[in-house]
Amino acid sequence: MSEDIEKRVDIEIGKRSRERRHKDSDLLETVEEVFDKPTILAIIELKNRGCLAELKGVVAAGKEARIYWAKNRNGGDLAVKIYLTSSAEFRKSIWKYIKGDPRYEWITSLPSHKLMSVWAKKEFSNLRKMYEAGVSVPKPFCVYRNVLVMEFIGSEGVRAPLLKEVVEMGKIDYEMAQKIFGIIIKNIYKMYWFAGLVHGDLSEYNVMIHNDNVYIIDVSQAVSLSHPNAHVFLYRDVMNIVKFFRDEIGLEQYSADKLFDYIVSKKVNELEKVLEE
Ligand code: ATP
Ligand code: MN
């Protein structure tokens, strides 16, 4: 870390600890123990930009990122995804999505903190394209360095359950499952035709269910249709979803091959028909 950054962080932290009653103290108490200084600075910058007011607590700690529940200036809920480290394993795991994508091939040679920044920006840009295309994803608000601010899916600081979890808890019946299945496939279609993207890591772990709405999350690795493996990833996404609903719910009637064909050849009428049966 450059001395310059270090100095600025110390100043920020010093300023805020002298002003204990200042609202920022909450923010920093949460973050000081957990984050490195560039991350603290990034959070402060987002705060200065009016993107967030207060970090409340951890919602989930994944392998490379943590999700926090946060508040905006009006007291509304936010989700903040903070990319923290990039292990050798992470570099390896993202290579297949990057390789062949002319937009991103250069990034794996970056130093760790830069890689995480590009990755956060990539997730933000994918989220925005999807959101604008009408895909059901958390609405993206801001991104700065390795920190991404988006709509919180859940209520009162409690995240909504994943598709995997609602099924495990036995919370959905056959009919409901059919509905959710249809919504996911239609979202894959919209993603493909209106956002020009393939998710690439779609499964029961990256779908959230909230108030009868279905949200697709975790889109950092999504690839554009020009990626040489876009269709391999698309087939795998469709297959993951078909398999999950077949094995866990008993929805036997859907063929991944057919759905894949209807999606890529834009046979929207056939798709609707299959999904309504
Ligand atoms: P993985 O665990 O697959 O490595 P990741 O670190 O890439 O995941 P995400 O899948 O994006 O991160 O998010 C991790 C978890 O945080 C999700 O499983 C979900 O429970 C929760 N989460 C993600 N986005 C939101 C959101 N917008 N609102 C509420 N909770 C969220
Ligand atoms: Mn995930």
In 3D space, the residue among 254, 266, 237, 264 whose CA is nearest the CA of residue 178 turns out to be 254
Q: Check pLDDT > 50 for residue 27.
A: yes
Higher pLDDT, 205 or 10: 205
pLDDT at position 148 is 98
pLDDT band at 86 (very low <50, low <70, confident <90, very high): confident
Q: Check pLDDT > 80 for residue 57.
A: yes
Mean pLDDT of 190-216: 98
| DSSP letter for each residue of 169-186 | TT---HHHHHHHHHHHHH
Q: Do domains 3-155 and 160-276 have the same CATH topology?
A: no
Q: Check pLDDT > 50 for residue 1.
A: no
Q: Check pLDDT > 60 for residue 29.
A: no
Which position has the token pair 């002319």? 102
Mutate to test the pocket of ligand 1, among 55, 56, 58, 59 (most ligand atoms within 8 A of CB): 59
Residues 209/179, Cβ–Cβ less than 8 Å: no
Mean pLDDT of 136-153: 98
Distance from residue 152's CA to the centre of ligand 1 (Å): 10
Q: Which residues have CB less than 5 Å away from ligand 2 (the ion)?
A: 206, 218
Q: What is the pLDDT of residues 158-173, one digit of tens each?
A: 999 999 999 999 999 9
Q: Check pLDDT > 60 for residue 115.
A: yes
| DSSP letter for each residue of 204-220 | TTSEEEETTEEEE---T
Mean pLDDT of 234-251: 98
Domain boundary assignment for the chain: 3-155, 160-276
pTM for the whole thing?
0.90
CATH number of 3-155: 3.30.200.20
**Which CATH number applies to 160-276: 1.10.510.10, 3.20.20.10, 3.40.50.10490, 3.60.21.10?**
1.10.510.10
Q: Check pLDDT > 90 for residue 210.
A: yes
SS3 243: helix
Cβ of residue 60 lying under 6 Å from some atom of ligand 1: yes
Question: Residue 158 belongs to what H/E stretch?
Answer: strand 158-159
Among candidate residues 24, 26, 77, 201, the one labeled active-site is 201
Mean pLDDT of 81-100: 86
Among candidate residues 218, 247, 257, 261, the one labeled active-site is 218
Q: Which atom of ligand 1 has the smallest separation from the CA of 205? A: 18
pLDDT band at 6 (very low <50, low <70, confident <90, very high): low
